[in-house]
Amino acid sequence: MSEIETATFAGGCFWCMVRPFDEFPGIKKVLSGYTGGVVTNPTYEQVKAQWTGHTEAVKIWFDPAVVSYQQLVDLYWQQTDPTDDAGQFQDRGSNYRPIIFVNSLAQVQTAMASKAALQAREQFDQPIVTKIQVVQPFFPAEERHQQFYKKNPERFAAEEAGGREAFVKSHW
């Protein structure tokens, strides 16, 4: 049996980042939270105010015998606009910036190669600006934000309709 690994991705509103990973084979857990900032245990309101330095993100526990980190990175690209570093879709600001957080040399190499390959495909008319950074402490979001797509399907659908869903369909 393989050991469970983790991956952390920021791709705009964490509500919209959970479902694609949650429904992917080999995923054990997806947790919404905050990372990349300077405040310990920030609240949603603090992060939204953009003074903590954190971005909304998801931490994923996965079985590498079932799903590779490369597959997770590929799925990540398909959920984001990698040419927009000022937020994602209708969600604007540094708390929605896209970042691939890496926790090993293997993840660094995979993420960098994947980003270079995406840029080389010239699929987008602007440069790929998603950052790749070393993982930082991850703080789980409040319970009301966990599994939001299941708890609040109408609000979740409205978030998806804010540009993400159309972008994904037109680019992937």
Q: Dump pLDDT digits (tens) for 79-90.
A: 999 999 999 988
Mean pLDDT of 12-21: 94
Please report the pLDDT score of residue 74 as a whole number. Answer: 98
Q: How many whole angstroms separate alpha carbon 126 and alpha carbon 128?
A: 7
What is residue 52's three-state secondary structure?
coil
Residues in the chain: 172
Percent share of the chain, pLDDT over 70: 99
Q: What is the pLDDT of residues 111-141, one digit of tens each?
A: 999 999 999 999 999 999 999 999 999 999 9
Supply the range of the domain harboring residue 28: 5-171
- Buried/exposed 49-74: b ≥16 CB within 10 Å, e otherwise: eeebbbbbbbbbebeeeebebeebbe
Catalytic positions are: 13
Q: Name the residue among 7, 28, 71, 32 with its Cα closest to residue 159.
A: 32
- 3-state helix, strand and coil shares in percent for the chain, rounded to the nearest 5: 40, 20, 40
Q: What is the reported pTM?
A: 0.94
Is 136:101 a contact under the CB 8 Å cutoff? yes
Please report the pLDDT score of residue 148 as a whole number. Answer: 84
* pLDDT at 1 > cutoff 70: no
Domain count, the chain: 1
CATH number at residue 137: 3.30.1060.10
Q: How many whole angstroms separate alpha carbon 31 and alpha carbon 90?
A: 22
